Structure 1
C-alpha cells in the first residue's frame, strides 16, 4: 500500500496526478497517519534535494494561480509549510486553490445528469416597501425602481446598487426593502452608503432605501459577508435574532442559519462589537464569536475557511459530515436523509462550488461514507 502513495506523491510533483488520484491521496491523509513511511531513493537523492523539488513545485503552482480548473485539494496541500515526518525526513507538500475575487459569477458549470443536481447561482427576490416583488435573476441591467429619493439599479456585474440623492423629499430611511436568496442562490447588494453585502444561499437582508442621518441599521437571516463603508459619525449595526453587531467601518462575516447551533461572527479587518442580552465583546481580526445558549465565546479561526463561499469554494477543516451536508443542502437545493447512524467522521478538503452535486459527493466518498441522490434528496449511509 505504501508503494501506492509513493507513486501518487511522485505523480503530484510531476503534474500527472488525476483528480481521482488527488482525492485518493487526500482520503489517505484524512484517515490519519501514525506510521513512518520510507522515501525511496529514486524519489530524491537526499533531504535537501527533496525539499528543493517540492519548492520548485510550489513555484510552478503559484504561476498557475489564475487557473479555473476544479481541484479536490485537502487542507494540507493548501499551505507551503505543511510538514510531515516520513521515515525521519521532512516532506513539504503544497497545492494552492486558484486565486479568486469575490464574485457572484460561477464558471465552468457542468450540466447535471438526470440523477444529479447543478450548483447554485445568482438568484434573489427583491421585495419593495409596497410589497411588490422583483425577480433579480430575470431583470435586465439598468434602473429597476425608485424608493423615495433612492434609485435602484442593476449593474453589469449583476449587483443591485442603491443610489441615494441629497435632494429634499420623501425620507427614504423609512422605506424598507428586503432581498432574499433561495436555496441554491446567492447575491450581492451595494447599500446607499456604499457598503457591500454578499448574501449566501437561503439568506435575507432587510434595510432602508437610504440610511438616516444618525445610524445605519440592517437585519439579516442566514449568512452574509459585509464590507462596511467607513463613517465614524454613523455606526453600522447588523441585527441577527438575539445578537447585534456594531461597527464603524470594517469587513466581517455572520453565519446565523437557524439550523446551525450558534450564531458565528468572524472579523476580517477592523473591529466589531458583539452584543447579546446583557453581554458584549470586542473582536479582533481573525477572531470569531459564537453565540450559543445565550453565551458569547471567542476563538481564533482561519478566515479563508470562513470566507471560502464568497470566492466560489467549499472549504472544510475537520468538518463533521452533518455540517457539510447542511451546506450542500443549501447550495444545491436538496434535502438530507440519513439511513442508520449519522457518521461521526470529520473531513478536511476543498472543492469549487461550481461543480455538480455528484462531484462533491464523490470527494466525500473517500471518507468511507456512501451517498446516493434520490430526486431532491441526498441519502447518507455509513
Structure 2
C-alpha cells in the first residue's frame, strides 16, 4: 500500500469494507483483527488495567499471522494497529463494523423494531438567492442555477454548490447581496464559496454569505455544524460568526458545532491557526485544540487539547463515531440525520463506543445499539422513536 494518513486510511478501509468495495487485502486485514478480538468479550468497556495488555496481545497476534503469511508490509500494518490501539473504542469498533456487515447481509436483524425503517440522510438543501427566490437542491435540480453580474452558481451531481467568478469586471464591487443555504434534518451539502473556500454543512444547519466578498474581510454566518477549508488570503481575513462567537482565520481547516438547541459552541482546529472571540475574551487555537464556549454573551472560552479530531469530523467523513458517548448524545445525532422524533423522557444511563457509516439504515444502527445495551427501540408511524429499558 502507498503512504497514507493512518487514521483517515483506517476510516476509509472500514467504509469500503461495509459498502462491499474493499480489496481482498483489506477484507483479510479486517477479518484477521475481528477473528482475534472475537475470542474474548470486548463488547463493553475495557478496564484501564487490561487495556494495554489487550493492545499488546492484539498486535502480537496479527504480527505473527501476517509475518507467517507474508501478505502485508509489516510497517504499514503496524500503522493500522497502533492507531487502533490508541483508540479506546477500537475493540468495539472492529466488532461493531463486522457485526454491521453481517446484519446488512442477513434477512433479519433480530432488532426489536416495528416493521418500519428510515433511510439515511442525503445531499439536499434549500438555497435562498438575494432576490428571495428559493431553489431546492437535490438530485433533480438543474446544474445551472444562476449566471448574473459575472457570477455563476452551479450544482454538481455529487451534492456540491459552486460559486464561480466568471468576469471580475462585471462583478459589482458594491455587491452586498446575500445568499443562504439551509440543510434540513436528514440533509447535508457542500458549497464552494466565491473565494474558493470549501464548506461542508451537516444536517439541520444553515450558512449565510455574500455572493461575492467585497471590502476588507470575508464573512459568513453559521447555524448548526459545518467543516471549513478556508482559502488563504492574508489581506482579507475570513470570519465565521455563530451565536455570540466570532472565529477569524486567514486560511485553515476547522469544524464548528453551534446548533441552536445546544448549550455550548465547539470549535475544533485541524490545521493552521484561528482566533476565537466573544464579548468576554478571546483565544488563539493551535492544531489539535478545541474551544468550548457557552452561548451567553459573557461566557468564557475554554480551550482543551484533549480531543479526538476524528470524532469531531466523523460526520463529514460519512461516519458516526461514538467514543464513550452518552445515549442522549447518540440519539441527538440520529434524530438530525434520520429526521425522526425521539422520546427522551426515560433514557437509561448508558454510554456507547463504536463506529458505523452514515449510509446505514436506521434499523441497522438501532440493532447495534440494542446488542450492546439492555434496551430496545420502538419505531412507530410518523417516524417516532421510543427507547424502552429491558426488565
Q: Does 1:27 align with 2:33?
A: no
Q: 1:222 to 1:60 in 2, by over 3 A?
A: farther
Corresponding residue for residue 359 of structure 1? 364
**Secondary structure in 1 aligned to 2:116?**
coil
**2-side partners of 1:26 and 1:378: how far apart?**
28
Corresponding residue for residue 157 of structure 1? 158
**1-side partners of 2:134 and 2:153: how far apart?**
13
**2-side partners of 1:380 and 1:94: how far apart?**
23
Corresponding residue for residue 81 of structure 1? 85
Q: 1:83 to 1:196 in 2, by over 3 A?
A: closer
**2-side partners of 1:148 and 1:308: how far apart?**
38
**2-side partners of 1:225 and 1:47: how far apart?**
34
Corresponding residue for residue 4 of structure 2? none
Give how far 1:150 is off.
Answer: 1.4
**Secondary structure in 1 aligned to 2:333?**
helix
**Secondary structure in 1 aligned to 2:344?**
strand
Give how far 1:372 is off.
Answer: 1.7
Identify the match of residue 258 of structure 1 among 260, 277, 290: 260
Residues 122 and 185, structure 1, Cα contact 8 Å, conserved in 2: yes
**Secondary structure in 2 aligned to 1:117?**
coil
Identify the match of residue 385 of structure 2 among 371, 378, 381: 378
Corresponding residue for residue 295 of structure 1? 300
Q: 1:172 to 1:351 in 2, by over 3 A?
A: farther
Give how far 1:80 is off.
Answer: 4.0
Corresponding residue for residue 50 of structure 1? 61
Give how far 1:15 is off.
Answer: 7.0
Corresponding residue for residue 211 of structure 1? 213
Corresponding residue for residue 230 of structure 1? 232
Identify the match of residue 310 of structure 1 among 312, 316, 320: 316
Unaligned segments of structure 1, at least 5 residues? 1-10, 40-45, 66-75, 85-91, 99-107
Q: After alignment, is 262-271 or 132-141 more displaced? A: 132-141
**1-side partners of 2:135 and 2:87: how far apart?**
52
Give how far 1:143 is off.
Answer: 1.9
**1-side partners of 2:242 and 2:69: how far apart?**
42
TM-score, normalised to structure 2, is: 0.74
TM-score, normalised to structure 1, is: 0.76
**2-side partners of 1:351 and 1:381: how far apart?**
22
Structure 1 residues 38-117: aligned runs within 5 Å: 50=61, 52-53=63-64, 79-82=83-86, 114-117=115-118
**2-side partners of 1:246 and 1:364: how far apart?**
39
Aligned residue pair count: 335
Q: 1:185 to 1:265 in 2, by over 3 A?
A: same
Give how far 1:226 is off.
Answer: 0.3
**Secondary structure in 1 aligned to 2:367?**
helix
Identify the match of residue 355 of structure 2 among 342, 350, 358: 350
Unaligned segments of structure 2, at least 5 residues? 1-28, 98-103, 107-112
Q: After alignment, is 276-285 or 224-233 more displaced? A: 276-285
**2-side partners of 1:231 and 1:161: how far apart?**
19
Q: 1:55 to 1:290 in 2, by over 3 A?
A: farther
**Secondary structure in 2 aligned to 1:310?**
coil
Give how far 1:277 is off.
Answer: 1.0
Give how far 1:258 is off.
Answer: 1.7
Higher fraction of helix: 2
Q: After alignment, is 149-158 or 185-194 more displaced? A: 149-158
Corresponding residue for residue 330 of structure 1? 336
Corresponding residue for residue 25 of structure 2? none
